[in-house]
Structure 1
Amino acid sequence: MGNREDLLSGARRCLEERGWARTTVRDIAAASGGVSMAAIGYHFGSREALLNAALIEAIDDWGTRLGRTLASFGKADSSPAERYEAMWVAVIESFTADRTLWLATMEALVQAEHADDLRLYLAGGQAQGRQGLAALLRGAPENEVDAGAARTLGAVQMALFTGVMTQWLTDPGQAPTAAEVVTGLGALTGIVNAHE
């Protein structure tokens, strides 16, 4: 690997171990195998730009893994409700297995207020996520899901993910299980349907 790749790898490791705010240029240089701190400026322009690039790379890798996992639930010979609960089991397992990445992503949301490139990347990722989630839940290819389904079904599912993730990151002992999420959604459906 060259210095650029070493810096990206070191920055990813720092994000996982230290988080966004506590990672220094010195930490990244050390985690990169001794690449000079000046190389950060040469290759990326700033610590923030390097951390943005490292986080984007990590999110892309994680998103690919999670997408493959979630897609596997749409092909089972079980009921839609069973597949939905199984999907939640996998998502909640990710909150534990990929905890540091989820935390870094939350930090990135705050940092995006000051970094247009990061905000645009995260917004694009959300748009793709809404489309992909709507497709997954409908059991259809993404290119067959209309914008309305992405803005309703996909967006609400993403909001559920974010809310449950926040609970798991702050208080895993009290956060809802997959079965409780499904039961809660059933109760909400009853409330919504009662107002029609």
Structure 2
Amino acid sequence: MGHREDLLEGAKRCLLEKGFVRTTARDIVKESGTNLGSIGYHYGSKDALLAQAFIALVEPMGDDYEKARAAREAAGAGAEAGAEEAGGLERFRDVWAGIIRSVPESRPIWMMTLEVVTQGERLAGIRKLLIEAQEEGRSGLTAMFTGIEESKLPAEVVDTEGRLYTTLLNGLMVQWLFDPDSATTAEQLTEGLRRLMERDGSRPGADGR
């Protein structure tokens, strides 16, 4: 690997061990075996490098959820697997279940996300880059829940359903980080949605008349 790749890998390890605030440029240099000048040359600043490292840690998470779901289907998920392809309640529950199962492994990443939220202005540069990355990540999350290829998703679907999934994801992760014993399960989340849909369908005039 060259210095650019070494810096990225070193920054990823530093983030997982120390988080954003405690990681210094010298920590990254020591971990990557490079030099201080390389950070500015390849990434512009330490904050920009840390933001790229964080994004690199997050990106594989969506792939892991999809691989796990595909493995369960291949193992014989039966009729439920077929229902998932339609993007209905079964798929909704299954994707959330996969996300929740990943919490022990993804906990350090979610803790870093909370660090960005709570540290505010101390991480202003990183925060801006991560907000931009969240915009891109929204379409990937939408693809997971709808079963529609990301490149074929209509913009309005990403901007509506995608925002719903992102909001639910952020709230769910806070619960699981704070107290796993009382956190909402995939089944509870799905049952809540099912009840809401049934209540909406039973309202007078819900059929448009």
Given that 1:88 and 1:178 are in contact with CA atoms closer than 8 Å, whether structure 2 keeps it comes out as yes
Aligned counterpart for 1:187 among listed residues 157, 175, 195:
195
1:87 alignment counterpart: 95
Q: Name which of 151, 163, 171 aligns with 2:171.
A: 163
Task: Report 1:56-67 matches (<5 A).
Answer: 56-67=55-66
Pair 1:52 & 2:60 matched: no
SS of 2:184's equivalent in the other structure is: coil
- 1:42 maps onto 2:41 in alignment: yes
Give the corresponding residue for 2:125.
Answer: 114
In the alignment, which residue of structure 1 is the partner of 2:78?
A: 77
Q: Is the 8 A contact 2:6 2:34 kept in 1?
A: yes
Q: Which residue of 1 aligns with 2:181?
A: 173
Q: Is the 8 A contact 1:7 1:35 kept in 2?
A: yes
Work out whether residues 131 and 154 of structure 1, in 8 Å CA contact, stay in contact via their aligned partners in 2: yes
TM superposition shift of 1:50: 1.0
Structure 2 residue ranges without an equivalent (≥5)? 84-88
Query: Superposition RMSD on alpha carbons, in Å?
Result: 2.9
Alignment correspondent of 1:21: 21
* Contiguous gaps of at least 5 residues in structure 1: none
* Structure 1 segment 91-170 matched on structure 2, within 5 A: 91-108=99-116, 113-115=124-126, 116-126=128-138, 128-129=139-140, 131-133=142-144, 136-137=145-146, 139-170=147-178
TM-score by length of 2: 0.74
Q: CA deviation at 1:107?
A: 3.6
Distance across 1 between alignment mates of 2:141 and 2:15: 26
Is the contact made by 1:130 and 1:151 (CA closer than 8 Å) also made in structure 2? no
Inter-partner Cα distance in structure 2 for 1:104 and 1:121: 15
The answer to which of 166-175 and 98-107 deviates more is 98-107
TM-superposed CA distance for 1:164, in Å, is: 0.9
- Counterparts of 2:189 and 2:197, CA distance in 1: 12
Counterparts in 2 of 1:192 and 1:129: CA distance versus 1, 3 Å? farther
**Deviation per residue, 1:15-35 (Å, 9 max, x gap):** 111111221122212222x32
Moved more, 43-52 or 71-80: 71-80
* Cα pair distance change 1:140/1:41, threshold 3 Å: closer
TM-score by length of 1: 0.78
SS at match of 1:21: helix
Q: How many Å separate the matches in 2 of 1:31 and 1:192?
A: 55
1:32-73 deviation digits (Å, cap 9, x = unpaired): 2x3223332232222101101211222223333334435667
The alignment-based identity, stated in percent, is: 35
User: Mean Cα displacement is larger for which, 36-45 or 139-148?
Assistant: 139-148
Task: Report the AA paired with residue 5 of structure 1.
Answer: E
**CA drift at 1:12:** 0.3
1:161 CA drift (Å): 1.8
